[in-house]
A = this chain, B = another copy of it.
């Protein structure tokens, strides 16, 4: 069965060699065997597992939590319930995070429209209560109106 060195895996997966060793130290790769000289030998199998692990990492799961997940794997079918619960909990975290980012994006698009129109007018004053740096309520009202008229938030801010 073909095996791969840490350097090969590094290139294949786009991770630094140091990062892979770090993941190993943190308990993410307990399934990786060593050769007689103490070097890590990665099998196809191992690499597929690592891809799963990187999937969790991309999903924002902390490395310590992934280590738990991986250790459950070693317990075999007994831990199927724990693993399901773990993913379920993290699904919620991800959903919440996406929702929060969507809100931030909406806010950012409002601000884009705000600066686009200010720039067109040559001054930010058109949006401010006279003599302050506070945004005038009519600015928000105008934006809401435009959204109601069917303009998308994305298009409103675009130049």
Contacting B at CB under 8 A, from A65-89, are 76-77, 80-81, 83-84, 87-88
Quickly give the copy total for this chain: 2
**Cβ of B100 and Cβ of A58 under 8 Å apart?**
yes
Select one of B60, B81, B87, B105 contacting A94, CB under 8 A: B105
Measured between C-beta atoms, what is the minimum distance from A105 to chain B in Å? 5
Given A45-B133, A91-B112, A134-B44, A101-B101 contact (CB < 8 Å): yes
A13 is an interface residue with CB less than 8 A from chain B: no
Contact partners of A157 in chain B: CB under 8 A: 87-88, 91
Contact partners of A119 in chain B: CB under 8 A: 80-81, 84
A150 is an interface residue with CB less than 8 A from chain B: no
A111 is an interface residue with CB less than 8 A from chain B: yes
Measured between C-beta atoms, what is the minimum distance from A12 to chain B in Å? 16
Residue from the set A87, A95, A132 with the largest chain B CB neighbour count within 10 Å: A87
A40 is an interface residue with CB less than 8 A from chain B: no
Contact partners of A124 in chain B: CB under 8 A: 76-77, 80
Q: How many residues of A contact B (CB 8 A)?
A: 50
Contact partners of A36 in chain B: CB under 8 A: none
Give the distance in Å from the alpha carbon of A158 to the alpha carbon of B12 in the complex. Answer: 34
Contact partners of A122 in chain B: CB under 8 A: 77
User: A interface vs B, CB < 8 Å?
Assistant: 31, 44-45, 48-49, 52, 55-56, 58-60, 76-77, 80-81, 83-84, 87-88, 90-91, 94-95, 97-98, 100-105, 107-109, 111-112, 115-116, 118-119, 122-125, 132-135, 157, 159
